[in-house]
Amino acid sequence: MDTAYRTPYVRPSRNPPPVIGQTGRTMNHFALPDGAGIDLARFPADPRDPLRAWDASDDYLLQHLADGEVSVDGLEGRLVILGDRWGALATALAAHAPVQITDSYLAQRATAENLARNGHPAHAVELRSSRDEPPARVDVLLVRVPKSLALLEDQLLRLAPAIHAGTVVVGTGMVAEIHTSTLELFERVLGPTRTSLARRKARLIFCTPDPEVLGARPANPWPQRYPFPPGVPGAGARLAGTTVTNHAGIFSAERLDIGTRFFLEHLPTPARGHHVVDLGCGNGVLGLAAALTAPGAELTFLDESFGAVASAEETFRANADPATRARFVVADGASGLAPASVDLVLNNPPFHSYQAATDATAHRMFADAKRALRPGGELWVVGNRHLGYHVRLKRIFGNCRTVVGNPKFVILQAVKKG
């Protein structure tokens, strides 16, 4: 570790003591640098989930703070934590009343539950989303480097007006997540930046804000918009001439994804008055296409990314008939939909949760969709052929039909039986 760099001492909170699960210390017990620990889980918590709610980069950052010499206790201003995956940093530092900023609803819910799990009141951490107004002043900025460089760019640029020459900025991430472009971004927006040595495959980023750099920072290029490409047949033809809005970090923000394109070519036409859900909506092109092909349909756009839901709403408002009824909801899958309230669910499921490949989210989405569908209602799914979604769907719905396939993708239909 680079010892030449001093950061303020931010003592990880250990009061009140962690609540240990009934089975005693589990693999969810995260040991803090001072020997205490906290219990953490991802959201939604699943005892069969082998994935931990923190990694070596969280550990490295907390260790670095505990090694610091200057106390931030009593400092005016704010500790802001950007990109905390499952609330490990916010929970460990809850005694410092941090503001957590994330684009992920799952991260927010995990943080809230981890705070409660460890005896902290809900207000111990101020939860803000990537779309909320950033705090007016930031004195310590801790950045868990996100998977998306675009999201980091957007968030640093949004926070820049609140950062001053005295702001302490420390980033953390796994070595594989920190690239030259990551460091260049810190340099371009905030000021001189360097990294620590790697430890357990994690690295820290040290950035010294420079008022000159802050003053000359580039304009925020997000959100970005692209014209929907011509020549997509089927429901895609209805999108020709539309403009698609993409906030930073959302799925396929720069161009139409090829799986989405294939889905648009074969999208079903909803009946008049039907309730259609675009589940995991991203920028919302699937739901928009359904609305344009079936005037009178009612739409719900759902995603766990705040930026995705904002993108879907802007894309829809710019292109759909204003009389079309539409809701835009940040949520975990379709879990919040009323049972038997939906006629058609359109789903291009995610298949990565950070670096860990998992189809658990897709499975949850399918089961939730079944609950939300009316008898006779349909779930349509596009996916990579090799993911084998048909097996899951058959197990959940008792039926699954391959509508169409190409060498890479399949479109599947499952019907809720009465």
Ligand X SMILES: C[S@@+](CC[C@H](N)C(=O)[O-])C[C@H]1O[C@@H](n2cnc3c(N)ncnc32)[C@H](O)[C@@H]1O
Residues that bind ligand X (CB under 6 A): 106, 250-252, 257, 260, 280-282, 285-286, 302-305, 308, 332-333, 348, 350, 361
State the minimum distance, in angstroms, from the CB of residue 7 to ligand X: 33
Nearer to ligand X, 154 or 303 (CB): 303
State the minimum distance, in angstroms, from the CB of residue 380 to ligand X: 12
Strand order in the sheet with 326-330: 326-330, 298-303, 275-279, 342-347, 373-384, 409-415, 401-405
What sign does the dihedral 93-28-127-156 (CA atoms) show? Answer: positive
Per residue in 197-217, is it b (16+ CB within 10 Å) or e — as a string?
eebeebbbbbbbbeeebbeeb
Start-end of H helices in 39-176: 56-67, 88-92, 105-117, 149-159
State the minimum distance, in angstroms, from the CB of residue 365 to ligand X: 7
State the minimum distance, in angstroms, from the CB of residue 255 to ligand X: 10
Nearer to ligand X, 170 or 244 (CB): 244
State the minimum distance, in angstroms, from the CB of residue 333 to ligand X: 4
Question: What does the alpha-carbon distance between residue 133 and residue 43 come to, in Å, rounded to a whole number?
Answer: 25
Question: What does the alpha-carbon distance between residue 287 and residue 242 come to, in Å, rounded to a whole number?
Answer: 13
State the minimum distance, in angstroms, from the CB of residue 311 to ligand X: 9
CB half-sphere exposure, 276, CA atoms < 13 A: 32
**Token pair in block for residue 244:** 């698609």
Q: Is 268 helix (H, G, I), strand (E, B) or coil?
A: coil
State the minimum distance, in angstroms, from the CB of residue 278 to ligand X: 6
Nearer to ligand X, 186 or 380 (CB): 380
Nearer to ligand X, 245 or 260 (CB): 260
Nearer to ligand X, 118 or 260 (CB): 260
Nearer to ligand X, 352 or 417 (CB): 352
State the minimum distance, in angstroms, from the CB of residue 286 to ligand X: 5
Which residues have a Cβ under 8 Å from the Cβ of 300 and sit 6 or more positions away? Answer: 275, 276, 277, 278, 287, 326, 327, 329, 337, 342
Nearer to ligand X, 49 or 210 (CB): 49
Nearer to ligand X, 63 or 252 (CB): 252
Nearer to ligand X, 59 or 84 (CB): 84
Residue written as token pair 């959940």: 396
CB half-sphere exposure, 279, CA atoms < 13 A: 35
Residue written as token pair 């923000």: 253
Question: What does the alpha-carbon distance between residue 199 and residue 309 come to, in Å, rounded to a whole number?
Answer: 37
Spatial contact of 247 and 154, defined as CB atoms under 8 Å apart: yes
Question: What does the alpha-carbon distance between residue 339 and residue 126 come to, in Å, rounded to a whole number?
Answer: 32
State the minimum distance, in angstroms, from the CB of residue 147 to ligand X: 11
Nearest to 107 by CA among 330, 280, 364: 330
Nearer to ligand X, 84 or 359 (CB): 359
Spatial contact of 12 and 37, defined as CB atoms under 8 Å apart: no
Nearest to 238 by CA among 294, 192, 308, 289: 289
State the minimum distance, in angstroms, from the CB of residue 267 to ligand X: 11
